[in-house]
Structure formats: C-alpha cells, structure tokens
Structure 1
Amino acid sequence: MTTNLTIGERVAWYRRRRGMSQEVLAGLVGRTVDWLSKAENNRLELDRLSVIKSLADALDVSLGDLLAEPTLMDWTPESGNRTVPALRSALMNYRQLTPLLGVPTEGEPTPLAELQTSVTDVLDAYQASRYGFATRRLPLVLADALIAAQSYEGVDRERANALLAMTYQSAAMVLGKVGEVDLAWIAADRGLGAAQQSGDTAVTGSLFRSVAFCLLSTGRFDAAVQLVGDAADYLRPGLTDASPEFLSIYGTLFLSGSMAAARSDDRSTVREFLAEADQAARQLGQDANHMWTAFGPTNVAIHRVATAAELGDMQIAVELGPQIDTSSLPTERRTRHNIEVARALSAHNRVDDALAMILEAESWAPEQVRSHYLARELVLSWVRNYRGRPSPAMTGLADRLHVV
C-alpha cells in the first residue's frame, strides 16, 4: 500500500495512524521536531537502519513496514507464476517436518549426487541474483532433500542432512533478499537443525551465518552481534587445521557481525569483527567462493565501506568504495556494493554518479536492485527532490522499480 512513499513519508503515515504528534515521536527517538519534520518531508535522508529501527520501535511497527517489505516478486520466464507463495507452502507443510506422525515418505530418495547438483544450481542462482529461478526450484529441491534426510542411513544420512541444511539456507537467503523475513527465519532455523544432524562443522557455521542475517533483517542487531560472538567461540577450535571452506565460513560470519555491530552503533565491535575477518582472509590468501561465501580480501574491503556507511561515515565510504575492484566476485556481491556506494555518493549530493552506480547494478542484477529497499528509496527520493524534470534514465529506472 505504501510502496510509492519514501521511508520518511511512511513514518509520517504511521505516526498519524497512531495519533502521535511530531513532538512525541521526536522525543521517543531522541531527536528534535525539526529533524523529524525534515525526515518526513524528504529534506533529510533516512538511510541508516539503526535510525529507521528506532522509529519503527517507537511507532510499534516492524522494520519492514517502514522499508515497504516484502516486495512483490515479478513474474518472469524463470519464475513462472508460482513464486513466494509456493515456497511458503513448502516451508509450512507439516507432513514433512517429523516422522512422529507416521506419515510415510513419498517416493524413492533422490541419489545424493543428483541432489547435490540441484542444491548447487539453487545456490548458484542466488549468487547470480536470479531470485525467480531459485524460488521456483526451491520447493521441489526442498521436498527431495527432506525425503533424502529421512530415508538414508549412516554417513549418507549425514550428507543428506548437510544438503538439506544448505537447501534451507538458500531459501533463507532468497527470502531475505525479497523482504520475506519471517519465512527466512523459519528456513534458517530449520536449516540450523539439519546442519547439526549432519555433523559438518562448516555447514553448521554456514547456517549460523544465515540465522545472523535473519536477525539483521528483522532489526535485532544486538542479538545478531551476540550470536556471532557465540558462534565464533563454537567454531574457533577448528581454526587449528582449518580447510579453505572452514576459513571462509568463519570469516564471513564476522562480516555479518560487523554489519550488525554497525547498525547498533557499536564502533569498537565493528573494528574487532572486521579485524577477525581480515585475519581469516589473509590466512585464506585470496578471493574465493568456498561454500558460496565470496569470501576473501575484497569482501572484507566491501564490508569496510558498508559498515562505514551504516555508522554515518559517508566520506569514508565515498573515498574507499569506488576504489574496490569487485569484478571477480559473484553478481550478488558486486550489486550490493554498487548500491552501498550509490548511497554514499547520494549523501554527498553526487546524484548523477549515484544513479550511474544503480544503473550499472541493474544491468547485472535487475531482480536484486528492484527488491532492495535502499535502491528503491534512493531512486524515489531522487525523483521527489529533483529540481525540474528528472532525466529519462532516472524516470525509466523509477518506473522499472515500481516506485512511481
């Protein structure tokens, strides 16, 4: 309903619905009435999630309510006309959750090599920002993985549970990208349970990361920081003879934690977590994509920019962001970095440069750009605040993002 409103306009909309004056809301979030008035009238950008979360809490709404999430997933040739609702049905199919009800397994289990290929296809699609394809495939892959985990025995059952965990992780990541945070939490939680049944520490660490992402998406920043600390304590003994996969999972966990700490305005923890991630990246020695982490020195550099922006240090983000060469990284990482740099450029009134960054990202990953709240918010605010007639490039982008 509020897709065509900026975040500031949504704040005003919910404030009026609550019968709350600007004076009261400003007091609840520790700001001045002048600040709130500017935010509601698009004269001040609400581009930090820590600030948006404080407003959501004061208004007793979810973070997603102010971000206009979830977004409607467009039908494409890859998605067909069964998208998130079909995946929701698969996640909420109680018949597949437990053997206690005596529901017989339907069909023969898929060979594990074939299941591995299917899981790989979905995770590759996620990193290529092909959310429609991933969403269409996931219900079938999830059903196959559940049957396999219930049917195989011994070592094969452990491997099946590892594949089931990674299937749930892929569902959590895709659902998180389109703003379906409650469904993403269900998927991540179940994935962590399956990971523990696999006996694979790296897979378990990977699912800890998914849970941390879900906590971030729902605005539970302090809880995400705590989870990363606890998970790191659990994983740390494995560093002695760590494989590249384990190092990548360990380092990426701290990158997630650095974003959570930044959104909690905890600068010291941001520095600590980035230092841990940097050490793991140095030990790994190069950029890689073990277990779909895209982890390495470049990803650490990307997070230095992202955390600086979350902390309000836009000058640092403007100086560092454009210098990072992301060409070797998966599409999802490259696109997310472009959006982050665009935010920093926009904060410095370099709208044309910021627009160029978003257009480049859209050329790589149109589904990701359309589903990211920050891209939508930037473009909508540019159109609203533009003096004169916006350029055809800007209005065309706004139309494709469905924000005007």
Structure 2
Amino acid sequence: MPSDATPNPYADAVAFGQRMQIYRQRRGMSRPVLAGFLDKSHSWVKQVETGVIQPPKLPMILRIAELLRVRDLADLTGDQSMHVDLFIGPGHPRLAAVKSAVDAFPFASDRQAPSTLHLRHRLDRAWNARHSAPNHREVVGELLPALIRDAQLATRQADSAADRQAAQAVLSEVYSLSQFFVAYQPDSALLWRIAERGMVAAQESEDPHAIGVAAWLTAQAHRDSGPAHFDAADAVTTEALRFLEPRLADSEDKVLAIAGALQFEAGYTAARRGENGTAWGWWDKAEKTARKLPADYYHPITSFSQAIMGAHAVTVAVELHQGGESVRQAARADKTVIRSRPRRARHRIEEARAYQLDGQPDTALATLDKAHEAAPETVKYNGYARRIVLEETEARQPERRRRASDLAVKLGLLAA
C-alpha cells in the first residue's frame, strides 16, 4: 500500500484513535467541531486520535459512533467481539417474503388483476394497520407481498392510459409502504430498489401526490446514507417542491401536506449539516404550510399535520445538538396527540435524545419505555434508541443500569 494511502479502518492493526480519525475525516468533520459536539477540547480529540491517551469508555464511544455515523461498533473499536449495528435493526422474519415479491416482477399471469379501487381500499387498510398496530412491521410485512404482486399486475393489465396512470399511482404508494417496512433492516440494496421503482411509478402516474411521496422517501434514503449523500437529498427535495409549488393553490389537502413534509425534510437535512438558521427557516415554512391544513388533518403516509410540527421542532433541535432547546421543544410538543403509534414512538425517541443531550439520562430511559409501550418494533429498529440504551447499561448508578439492561433485553441487544 502506498505510504499516503488512506488506512483501512476494518484492518485489525489500526488502533481506535486512527479509526476515529479516518471516520471523522470521511464525514468531513474537523477536530474542533467533533470536540464541541462531545463537550470535549480540541486537544482531547487529538490526543485520542494520536494514541496519546487511552480510548474512552463505552458511553463516549457510542456518542462518537453516532456523530460519525459508524454503523457497527466493531468498525470503530477494532474489537470483533463488539459487533453492534447501531443504525440497522435485525432482519424481520417477513423480510424475505417482501423481498421475493419485489424481486419477482413476473411479466405474464393467468389471473385477472384486482381493480385499482380494490387495491386502494387494501392499501388504505394497510396504512391504517401500520399506524394503529404496536407490532406494525409484522402486520405490514404480512400484507405487503400480495399487495406488491397485485399492484404490479394491475399496471400491466390496464386497458387505457388513464387506468394505467391510476394503477401506477397505487403501485408507487405500495412501494412507499414497502420502504417503511424495509427501512433500518439489513438490506440496503433492496431499500434502494424499492425507492427507485416507487419514483418511476410515481412519475409514470403523473400524480402530484404520488410524486411528492416518492420524492419524500427518496430524500430520506439519501440523507440516511450519510453526509456524502446530503446534497442528493437536497436536490430531490428542491426539485419536488419546484414541481409541486405551482399546483398548491388548487390542490387537495394531501398535496399541500406532502409539500409541507418536503419542506421539513429540507430542514432536517440542514440540521444534520449543523446549519442552524437554514434548518429553522425550513421548519418555519413547513409550520406555515401546516397551518393552512384543517386543524384535525393528518396525512396518512408522512403524518404531516399541525400536531406533528412540535415533534419536528424537537428533531431539529436534537440534530443541531441543542440540548436545552430540544428539551424545551419536547415540553411544548408533549401537549399534542400524535395519532400514529410508530410516529408517536419515534417522537418519544427524539425526546429521549433531547433528554440525553441535556444530561437527563433517567428521563431519557423513562421516555424510551413510553416509546416501547407505543410501538415496540419502532424502538427495536431505531439506532438512536439502541445507542442510548447501550450507553446506559454502563451507567455507574445501579438502578439506571438495571433499567437500561431490562430495556436492552426487550430490544434484543442483551440476552435475557
């Protein structure tokens, strides 16, 4: 290997500090910035990276892993006995069946496809089940294979251009539901295949709502792939908003809602970048859009609504690592009711991150318990929740350590 080549962080010989430096540089983060996020000095980061001082304890390692978006702790520590994937949950038992339906895409069939109206009713029931069931991945995973095959068949058997466009809109939304199921599971190639097929079907449908939803999910897929993909996330969001904005004056509530959801996504990405003003500016735009919707309106896919904006404010503050502000936003947001169980659990996780940032780990664990009550599968597959729980299993206080260990067992992170 040339002397100036970048070391391979997966090689066992590379020390923790070197691995930390490699991942920090790959993310494009300076030592002072990382130090600020960790409440440490610039010299502390340098001393760790150069091996002058010993690697930190597990709670600090977990914080570093989150900031640098290192998915497997073993990749950061070099300890192959510490394989813990922080941002990917376990493979769901129904993942193989969903993958098979996506991959099959048969070109011929001796059966008649269900009507678009029939598929729409089934899809609506599936969305309702996702929002109401605590084990939503299990419920959706059972429904998806047949929905995928029937929606694919409907697009091929459509008799007219209008029928084909309507079928493509339904197929696009089936792929959107599939993306929710596949997210944070160990098959990123399948996730991207679904996202791309959803976008193609949405464009073929020429339906503004379908296009907006597909763009919203594609932007999320880019952003969750790491900082190198933030520009791609912004590009998708910007183009989708440019397409939707001329159509908003006379649009249905659902089209206005997806535009608001996209505005928040732009703010979310900006917050991940650490762009304070831009992030809150986009949140303000989304909040104004939400106010144009009926007070009781709730978008069935994105959960965008007036009620969700408080939860979105918590997310922005947390991503900006504003501990006090995130807790203040959490207190305000808790006054509203989020209808969807998984979205309510996701909000609880964001609240837990806020309390952890603010130095309130006991409250963070209590909040994660509430998230687990709302939707256990949401917590099980969420990297941030897993990181907080693992961190607190190393707490000095016996009671906190016990609570964290109990929750880690529930999440499958520790053996019972």
Q: Describe the superposition over 1:112-142 as per-residue Cα deviations: whole angstroms up to 9, x where unpaired.
A: 2221122112222333350111112111100
Query: Which residue in 2 is equivalent to 1:289?
Result: 298
**Retained in 2: the 8 A contact 1:109–1:144?**
yes
Match of 1:5 in 2: none
1:44 corresponding residue in structure 2: 60
Q: Which residue of 2 aligns with 1:136?
A: 142
Alignment of 1:262-281 (within 5 A): 262-281=271-290
2:14 aligns to what? Answer: 20
CA distance in 2 between partners of 1:392 and 1:231 (Å) = 47
Residue 168 of structure 1: how far off its partner (Å): 0.3
1:396 aligns with 2:406: yes
Shift of 1:24: 3.5
Match of 1:108? Answer: 112
Question: Equivalents in 2 of 1:299, 1:39: separation in Å?
Answer: 40
More displaced stretch, 167-176 vs 82-91 = 82-91
* CA-CA distance at 1:108 after TM superposition: 0.6
Q: Write the letter of the residue equivalent to 1:91.
A: V
Paired residue for 1:72? Answer: 90
**Structure 2 equivalent of residue 78 of structure 1:** none
Contact 2:71 2:87 in 1 (8 A): no
- In the aligned structure 2, how far is the partner of 1:335 from the partner of 1:326? 14
- Distance in 1 (alpha carbons) for counterparts of 2:197 and 2:157: 18
Which of 124, 145, 160 lines up with 2:167 in the alignment?
160
Unaligned runs of 5+ in 1: 1-13, 75-81, 97-102
1:169-222 Cα shifts (integer Å, max 9, x gaps): 000112114464332221111011111121211111111001111112212223
- 1:336 alignment partner AA: R
- Consecutive unaligned residues of structure 2, counting only runs of 5 or more, are 1-7, 25-29, 32-44, 77-82
8 A contact 1:158–1:199 mirrored in 2: yes
Equivalent position amino acid for 1:138 in 2: L
Partner of 1:11: none
- Counterpart in the other structure of 2:311: 302
Are residues 399 and 151 of structure 1, via their aligned partners in 2, closer, same or farther at CA, if it must alter by over 3 Å? same
Cα RMSD of the aligned pairs, angstroms, is: 2.8
Instruction: Describe the shift of the 1:122–1:184 C-alpha distance in structure 2 as closer, same or farther (beyond 3 A).
Output: farther
| 1:332-387 deviation digits (Å, cap 9, x = unpaired) | 22111110111111223322211111111111101111111111111111011233
Counterpart contact for 2:327–2:354, Cα < 8 Å: yes
Query: Which stretch of structure 1 is more off in the superposition, 135-144 or 392-401?
Result: 392-401
Residue 209 (structure 2) pairs with residue 209 (structure 1)? no
Question: What is the rounded CA distance, in whole Å, between the counterparts of 1:368 and 1:338 in structure 2?
Answer: 10
Code of the aligned partner of 1:19: A
Alignment of 1:3-402 (within 5 A): 15=9, 17=11, 19-28=13-22, 29=24, 30-31=30-31, 32-34=45-47, 41-44=57-60, 46-47=62-63, 51-53=67-69, 67-73=85-91, 82-93=93-104, 95-96=105-106, 103-128=107-132, 130-154=136-160, 155-178=162-185, 180-219=187-226, 220-324=229-333, 325-388=335-398, 390=400, 392-402=402-412
Q: In the TM superposition, what whole-angstrom CA distance separates every residue of 1:128-171 from its partner, at most 9, and x where no partner exists?
A: 35011111211110000000111012222221111100000000
Query: Which secondary structure does the structure 1 equivalent of 2:307 belong to?
Result: helix
Q: CA deviation at 1:89?
A: 1.5
Report if the CA contact (8 A) 2:299-2:305 is conserved.
Answer: no
Give TM-score scaled by structure 2 length.
0.81
Counterpart CA distance in 2 for 1:328 and 1:92 is: 35
- Give the length in aligned residue pairs: 372
1:120 counterpart letter in structure 2: D
AA matched with 2:327: V
Cα deviation digits, residues 305-353 of structure 1 (max 9, x gap): 1111111111100111122134243112211111011111122332221
Q: Is this contact kept in 2: 1:172–1:187, CA < 8 A?
A: yes
Instruction: Call closer, same or farther: CA 1:66–1:363 in 2, change over 3 Å.
Output: closer
Does the 8 Å CA contact 1:209/1:252 hold for their aligned counterparts? Answer: yes
Q: Secondary structure of the residue that 1:278 maps to in structure 2? A: helix
More deviation in 18-27 or 260-269? 18-27
- Whether the 8 Å contact between 2:87 and 2:384 is mirrored in structure 1 is no
TM-score by structure 1 length? 0.83
Residues 398 and 50 (structure 1), Cα distance of their counterparts in 2 relative to 1, 3 Å cut:
closer
Moved more, 333-342 or 217-226: 217-226
Aligned partners of 2:260 and 2:290 also within 8 Å: yes
Q: Using the alignment, how far apart are the partners of 1:50 and 1:393 within structure 2?
A: 22
With over 3 angstroms needed to count, the CA separation of the structure-2 counterparts of 1:262 and 1:136, relative to structure 1, is same
Tell me, yes or no, if the aligned pair for 2:349 and 2:371 is still in contact at 8 Å.
yes
2:3 corresponding residue in structure 1: none
- Cα contact 2:345–2:374 (8 A) shared by 1: yes
Q: Distance in 1 between matches of 2:62 and 2:177?
A: 30
